[in-house]
Structure 1
Amino acid sequence: MKVAVPKEIKNHEYRVALTPTGARELVSRGHTVSVQADAGEGAGYSNRDYEAAGARIESDVELLWQNAELVLKVKEPQPAEVARLTPRHTLFTYLHLAAEEQLTRGLMTSGATCIAYETITDGQGGLPLLAPMSTVAGRMAVQAGAHSLEKAQGGSGVLLPGVPGVAPGKVTVIGGGVVGENAARMALGLGAEVTIVDKSIARLEVLDDRYQGRIKTVYSTADALEHAAKESDMIVGAVLIPGAAAPKLITRAMLADMKPGSVLVDVAIDQGGCFETSKPTTHAEPTYIVDGIVHYCVANMPGAVARTSTQGLTNATLPFVLALADKGWQQALRDDPHFLPGLNVYDGQVTYPAVAEAFGLESINPGKVVA
């Protein structure tokens, strides 16, 4: 199969969808791998690294897409990339379509087969291709939030660990999944007072047992969220409903009760954000202020640590990439019931119910598509 790896063009996105090691695995199986010139540069991989792995370096981006059958990316395709998609393409990347109607309709118009990393499941009900980037984003959230608390960044001037004689900062994490737990671990490691809010009693029990009271656990209610807004120096939004838009849990009205200069870090921004006042930002301009509250809503946080993120991503995606290349997308999805939910758009139709519901569209059963 002809596999293409374009250079990411989203603002300050330095990751690449395939490492040279991954390219070597594909080439060893008889596939052709074409990598856009300098696609791996931001992650520390040179053109020579890919050539040594047996890949071809392509400087003509139009030719790269035209010759491709399987296109591997990191972030959702930008408008110029959507325009290059045709029915002969299979696109494999993060899509997060429930928050992007224009992108969804663009992919439908293209006729391409679009498979999303973030909706593939595993036998335990997890999201194995979302997990590595969720881990990175969760850990980065507190790092970015702590920086945003600095007075020069518009924050309140609170140092999370405090100092002797001065109380530490208070961090609330909404959502106790992969992102939430990693954010909480980072905040705890910095010496902050940490609370996780979640609707799952079972998950709160796991976290309480794991951290032995060092992290407070609170069942999520309107009262709990209002209390968090009033008391916290930083709130990390780590809510995930797979494939669907995130609920708005911190309203604009709540901002009036927050401490001036407090920080909201919305890791759910890819799915529309879980704060009412959230809007996507970039690494170039990561924050903005609403009613005295600093908002950090970068939609590709892991792109800032491209080397680590690229390696973690390829480790997770490579088995699926090999299956697509070896078998073709229909057989690969037919053989693996956990791979099948990754199909989001096919032949102009939405195949993921939560995406269709977000925009009032009809969805088709992906099982019928591959049958």
Structure 2
Amino acid sequence: MATETETARGPHEIVRTREDGLPVYRLGDRPAHLLTKNELSKAGLTRAYRQPPLAYARWYYYKQEGETPLYDRNAARPKRACTPAQLAALEKGRKAAERKAFLARAWKCFDCGELTDEERYPQQIECGPCSIVRHRVSELVRSLDLAPALPPRPASHGLRDPQEWAAALLDSHQVVTLDTETSALHGWAVEVAVCDADGRTVFESLVTPGGPISQQAHSIHGIGNATLAEANAPRFSGVIDALGAAVDGRCVVVYNLSYDLGVIAREIHRHARTVVGLEDAEALAYTGAWLERARWVDLMIPYSEWYGEWNSYHHDYRWQSQPYGNHRAAADAAGAARLLRELAAGTAPRLPENERGPQADDEYDDYDAYA
């Protein structure tokens, strides 16, 4: 045990003397040549072989106290420099520790498939950069003038006539239909197909998405990693020229345009960033210029009006699923071409006349009275 003898020696105050005869100083009041082990290390020194402490320093920290040994820096020796092999081993260990810590908190982005450790809210499925890209591309798609130039469309009760619209579209434009299958609900393309107005396939290709294929998407279209590997499916950049040739200068009819055009736009934007090497505004301009090579038309809205299922809550026609196709891109694109021809001929599936909307005009009057 240390003795309780307290004294003062020289200009530095000795708090007490230990039973081994070594003085105990306050940490901030000690001879300049006496350093702790950490202070020796910061000075590029280390204790000599069996170098004994010459004194102790008393420290206090948040109601805790203790004593740390002090060594004569004049008796210490310089630290040995690490060899290149040792430095490489230390760096390897540091990187391994960082990787382990990263994997412990990382999650996989639904869009790009890359691991990220950024903070994530409960329902988040994509990393920050992918979310920004998706938003910018969506804004770009919404800003495009997608409606083709068509003759004036006859109207009945103030509503569009889908049959006349479809007939005018087929008469005045070179029409093709397009469909995509994706890796997930908001994922990347795994298959793209284009058909002409008669339903003949103009372009068709499987596409490696560069991200995971969800189980739900696989159960719908049946395209998995094994299918893509067997077909040696290219990335979208490998088919972008052939796809562009299939739609260039044509009126592209898509069932649920907002979805499929969003898929195509994101793929083109990724191609612009990763293959062409463009950034930000340039990549968006490249995407917009590519999309403007064709005229894009949504078939779902006119067909939903033709089908006639009225939604009294929204005062609009309820969107309908495509009646033809089997959830493969070529079959669905051919189904869209068939539906467009039948819509122009007036033979497309629809509800009986007594079940079709819109409702009587007095319903609008009642609605306006409470609006």
What TM-score does the superposition give when structure 2 sets the normalisation length? 0.23
Higher relative CO (CA 8 A, sep ≥ 6), structure 1 or 2? 1
| Higher Cα Rg, which structure | 2
What TM-score does the superposition give when structure 1 sets the normalisation length? 0.23
